[in-house]
Amino acid sequence: MMAAAPQARSAGPRYIVPVLAGKLARFATRLRGGGSAFPGYLTNRMAPTLLPTLADQFRYGVIFVLGSNGKTTTTHMVSEVLRAHGLKVFTNPTGANLPQGVTSALLADASLTGRIKADVAVLEIDEGYAADLADRLSPSVILSLNVQVDQLFRFFETERVADMMLDASTRASGHVVVNRDDPYLSKIDVDAMKAPVSFFGIAEDIVAASAHGLSNAADTRSGTAGTTPRDAFAEVREVSGRDIVVNVGGADARITLPARGLHYAADAAAALTVAARVLGDEFDTDRAAAGFATMAPAYGRGEVIPLRGNPAGEQVEFVMFKNAPSLQMNLDALDGTPERALIAIDDGTPDVSWLYDVDFAPLPRVDVVTGEKAHQLALALAYAGVEIGTVEPDMEKAVQLMRSFPETAAGRQVWFVNYELMMIGRRILGREEQETRR
Amino acid sequence: MTQVTIAQLYPAELGVTGDRGNVRAIERRLAARGVETTTVLVAPGERLPDALDVLVIGNGPLSALRGVHADLTARKDRLDAFVSDGGVLFSVGGSAELLGERLDAPDGESLDGIGVLPYRVARVSARRVGYIIVDTPDGPVVGFEDHASEWTLIDAASAYGTVRDGHGSFTRGEGRGEFVRVGNAFSSNVQGPVLPLNPALTDVLVDAVAERRGLTLSPARASDLDEYADAARTKILMRPTRDKGFKTIQV
Ligand SMILES: [Zn+2]
C-alpha cells in the first residue's frame, strides 16, 4: 500500500522524460508481444505525481467500476452512454484493471507533457487495488455492482471483497453508487461516505420471478442474510428478453441490452445511475438508450460469430461464465433449451467445486464437453442429470465436432465457455484480435 | 427396501465449495449398490434425524463459522455419541476446523471448537491453492485445496493420508498429511468436491454405513459417473505441474 498519496501537479515539461520512457518501454514490450505492466511501473517510479496529474484533467472526473461480476460490461455501458451525450471518454482496456495496467493505458493516451484529451475516465478496477488506486486517481464516482462468491483462492472470504469495495467507496468525492439488491452492499454505512449514495436495483416482482434471483452472496456476517431495504434511484421495471425499461430518477429509459439476462439488466441500471449522476441536468434518457443501441456485445458475452466462417450461415452464441453466479444467471436467461450446446472449462478456472452449486435444469443436454477440465465438468453435469454427447478435452477437436453436426433449425449453437476458452474459441472461429478496445 | 439417512448440516451457511456434491456422491454410490437413501437438509436450530447414518458438513467463510458456532456447540454431545457409535461423518473446510479443539483466526481471535476430532487449527497467512494428491490406506485421493488452515494433530494416529503432491493440512512424519479419520469420521481441506472424484473413498464411507447397519451391499453397477471420475482422476494424477498456472494475485 502507498505511504502517502502523491498530489496532482499541472501537466508540463517535467513529465517529458518519464512519459517518453514509459512510451518507449510500452513500444518495446509490444514488439516483444509482452504484457503492459512494465511501462506503467517505470513511469510511476520516475514520476509518481504523473498519475494524479493525468486523473486531474478529466472535466467530468474519474469513475471506478467495481464488482465480482459485470465490470467489463458495465464499464462499456457507462462509456457508451456518456459518449452518446457527446463526451470524449477514456477507458482502460478490458482486463487491464490492476494499477500498472491502468497507468499503462493512461500513458498510451497522454501527450509527452502529460496532457490527456478526454472529458471523463471510466475505469474497470480490481477490487483488491481499488482503495490504493482511489488514493492516486481521486475518483469522483465509485460504482460497486455486486459481491458474489468468487476467487476464494485470492480473497479468502467473500465479505472481504465487500469490505474492499465499501472501503474504496469512502474515497469517492462526488457519488457512491451501489446495488440495492446485494446483501452486503445494501448495508453500506451511508454516513461513513464523503459523497451521497445512490442505489440501483431491479423491481422485486421481477427478481422473484427469476429462478435463482440475482445470485448475490448471502450476508453471513451481520445476522441478516438478506438485503436492507433501500429506495432505488434507478430501478429496472420491465424485462422482456433484451428489452428493458429502467426508471431513472422518475423518467423511464427504454433500453436494449447487449445480451439477455437479469445480471445485464442490473448492470444497465448501474450504468444509468452513474451516467445520470455524472451528467446531472445534461442526462437524457433518449440519448442513454441511443448509447445502448450502438453498443456491441463485449467479447463472449452474448457475442455471435459464424460457426463455419459464413456470415449468412449457422452462428455460435458465446456465453461466458467465470463462477457459479455468472453461469447460473446466464442459464436462467436462456431463451429456451439450446438445440446444440458446447460447454468448456480449462485451468484458467482453478477450482470447479462450485459447479455442484449450479442448477443445470435449463440445459438438459450438452453435445460436447471440452477443455482441460472436461472430465471434471462432465462429472458435475452427469451428477446434475445433464445428458452428455461427447467429452473431448481438446478445444480444436471439439469445434470440429460442433461443425460436423447438421445445422440447427434456429441457425444457432450456444457455447458456454470460461474466459480463456472463449478467447481460444473465438480464435478458432477466425476472430484473431485481442480483447482490448471498447 | 432398506433406507439410509443422510443429513447435510448447514447447507446454506457452509456450502460454498459445491459441498452438496459430496452428498450426491454418497447417495448415488449407495443407489449403485442397491440401497435407497433419504437426504435431510438441516439448518441451525433444526433437529438432526434420530436414525442418522451419514452426516456431511461443508465449507464456508469465517463469518459463517461464527454464525453457526453456538448451534454446533449445542450439538457436541450428539456428535460425540454419533462418532463413537461408528456413524459416518464427512466434513470439509471450515466445518472441519470447528470440529477440532480450537480455531485460531488471523486477527488473534480464537474460536473454541467442539472437540469431536483431535486437532487444533491455526489460520496461516499463506494460502494453499492447487490440486492435491493424498495417499491413503484405501488408495490415492485427488482433489483441490484452497485454504489457509494449518492443523496440529493431538492424536497422531488420527492421520489418514500422506500428501504425495500439494500442501496438505498438517505435518506428518517428515512430510505433510491430509485427512483425519477417527472411527468413521473423516475431515479434510480437500475440495473438488472430493467424493464425486474419488469413488473408492466414497466406497469406504458406504461400506462403513453397511457394516454399522448390518446391510449387505450388491456389487456396484457401472455408470457414466465412474467413467468421468476415472478420467478426471487420471488427468489430475498425470498433470506434470499441478501447482503452476493459477493466477493467485496477492492482495
Ligand atoms: Zn464501445
Q: What is the percent of chain B where pLDDT is above 90?
A: 86
Measure CB to CB from residue B21 to each of A159, A350, A383 and give the nearest one.
Answer: A383
With a cut of 90, say whether residue A107 has pLDDT above it: no
Measure CB to CB from residue B193 to each of A152, A356, A382 and give the nearest one.
Answer: A356
pLDDT tens across A332-376, in order? 989 899 999 999 999 999 999 999 999 999 999 999 999 999 999
Q: Is A163 on the interface with B (CB under 8 A)?
A: no
CB contact under 8 A, B235 and A375: yes
With a cut of 70, say whether residue B232 has pLDDT above it: yes
> For residue B193, which of A217, A153, A354 has the smallest C-alpha distance?
A354
**Chain A: closest CA distance from residue B112 (Å):** 18
Residue A215: helix, strand or coil by DSSP? coil
pLDDT confidence tier of residue B246, bands split at 50, 70 and 90: very low
CB A148 within 8 A of CB A179: no
pLDDT tens across A51-66, in order? 888 888 999 999 999 9
* Grid coordinates belonging to A31: 514488439
Average of per-residue pLDDT across B63-73:
94
pLDDT tens across B124-136, in order? 988 899 999 999 9
User: How much is the pLDDT for B12?
Assistant: 92
Contacts of A221 in chain B (CB under 8 A): 63, 67
Top pLDDT among A120 and A10 is at: A120
**CB atoms < 10 A from the CB of B251, how many?**
14
Is residue A135 classed exposed, middle or buried when 0-12, 13-18 and 19+ CB atoms within 10 A define those classes? middle
User: How much is the pLDDT for A243?
Assistant: 96
* Assembly ipTM: 0.94
pLDDT tens across A206-226, in order? 999 998 888 888 888 888 889
pLDDT confidence tier of residue B247, bands split at 50, 70 and 90: very low
CB contact under 8 A, A347 and B246: yes
With a cut of 60, say whether residue B251 has pLDDT above it: no
With a cut of 80, say whether residue A95 has pLDDT above it: no
> For residue B151, which of B193, B191, B93, B107 has the smallest C-alpha distance?
B93
**How confident is the prediction for chain B on average, in pLDDT?**
93
What separation in angstroms does the CA of B84 have from each of B71, B87, B92, B156, B230? Answer: 21, 7, 20, 18, 33
With a cut of 50, say whether residue B245 has pLDDT above it: no
Q: What is the percent of chain A where pLDDT is above 70?
A: 95
Q: Is A192 on the interface with B (CB under 8 A)?
A: no
* Grid coordinates belonging to A41: 511501473
pLDDT tens across A138-195, in order? 999 999 999 988 766 566 678 889 999 999 999 999 999 999 999 999 999 999 999 9
Find the distance separating the first CA and the last CA of chain A, reported in whole Å: 30
Average of per-residue pLDDT across A292-319:
90
Q: How far is the CA of B18 from the centre of ligand 1 (A)?
A: 37
User: How much is the pLDDT for A361?
Assistant: 96
pLDDT confidence tier of residue A36, bands split at 50, 70 and 90: low
pLDDT confidence tier of residue B248, bands split at 50, 70 and 90: very low
